[in-house]
Amino acid sequence: MMFSIFGREVKSYFLSPVAYVVTASFVLFASASFYYRAVAFPGMLGSAASSGFLDVLKQNRINYFVLSPMLNDVVFILMFLIPVMTMRLWSEEKRASTDELLLTSPISVSRIIIGKYLAGLLFVSVLLLLTFIHVGFLFYYASPDPGVTFASYAGLFLFIATAVAVGLFTSTLTANPIIASVVCLIIELILTTLYGVGYSIKSPDLGRAISYISWKYHMLDMSDGIIGSGDLIYFAGMIFIWLFLAYQSVESSRWR
């Protein structure tokens, strides 16, 4: 039954014109970012060499100057696209009054939530896979560090897995998809800016604790090729928390 929900949501994604507009926009902006980074690469190498910084990077030059900046741009792009692609996951059910049918069906709320979450995650993952074309060019014409590249993409995937969970939760709060999208974007921006807020606080312990809440804190380690157990626990915990909140939101609406 969970996979029937998953299949229905996936089908609705690929039959929606919004999905194709989002995909085209993502490919356009991601490709523009890659092109700009690749063109600017020789000039950055020259500046780094003149400052004596180039020798420190060694084999990670492509990752540092091209791949990591491009993936940072991809994160920024997805922060605006994920709310658009997740805003209808549950709000559309509310708007069409089909949520009552789902809640009275034999399918448990947890399976409905997981099915919708996996559908949203699959679509955004397809967008992420499209950037492999750019990575393929890098590996064909240059020599990026495979370990750093894998860790960077692992961090990016965990980011989108968390962001989709946030989007699903905000979608359960209202029947208006636009409001759900805006609330999701606000939460994403908060989770991003907490990194800088933490380091601006004079108290080191408090600042570190606030920065730790930000997903940027954990993604930076992964962009350097470091996948720590603490980072994996953080993202797993964040995904669980937002899905649990989505479950509680839907469950509470059953008794209203």
Cα Rg of the chain, angstroms: 20
Kindly tell me if the per-residue pLDDT of 84 is higher than 70.
yes
- Asked if residue 197 lies in contact with residue 213, where contact means CB atoms within 8 angstroms, the answer is no
What are the DSSP E strand ranges found in 168-255? Answer: none
Q: Counting beta carbons within 10 angstroms of the beta carbon of residue 143, is it exposed (0 to 12), middle (13 to 18) or buried (19 or more)?
A: exposed
Token couple for 217: 């804190």
Mean pLDDT of 129-158: 87
Q: How many domains does the chain have?
A: 1
CA distance 172 to 249: 6
- Using left for φ > 0, alpha for ψ between -120 and 50, and beta otherwise, residue 33 falls in alpha
What's residue 157's pLDDT? 95
- For residues 207 and 201, is the Cβ–Cβ distance under 8 A? yes
Q: For 19-47, how does the pLDDT look when each residue is reduced to its tens digit (9 = 90+)?
A: 888 899 999 999 998 888 877 766 666 66
- pLDDT tens digits, 69-83: 888 999 999 999 999
Q: With pLDDT > 90 as the criterion, what percentage of the chain qualifies? A: 38
Please, what is the average pLDDT of the chain? Answer: 85
- pLDDT of 247 higher than 80: yes
Q: Is the pLDDT of residue 57 over 80?
A: no
pTM value?
0.90
- Degrees to nearest 5, angle at CA 108 with 106 and 110: 165
- Structure confidence by residue, pLDDT tens digits, 152-197: 999 999 999 999 999 999 999 988 999 999 999 999 999 999 888 8
DSSP line for 129-175: HHTHHHHHHHHHHS---HHHHHHHHHHHHHHHHHHHHHHHHHHTS-S
Q: Are 127 and 15 in contact (CB under 8 A)?
A: no
Task: Work out the average pLDDT over 215-241.
Answer: 89
Range of the domain at 237: 2-254
pLDDT at residue 204 in the model: 75
Residue labelled with tokens 């995937």: 157
For 26-29, which contacts have Cβ atoms below 8 Å and span 24 or more sequence positions?
26/77, 26/78, 26/81, 26/127, 26/130, 27/130, 29/73, 29/77
Task: Provide the pLDDT for residue 56.
Answer: 47
228 with 221: CB under 8 angstroms?
yes
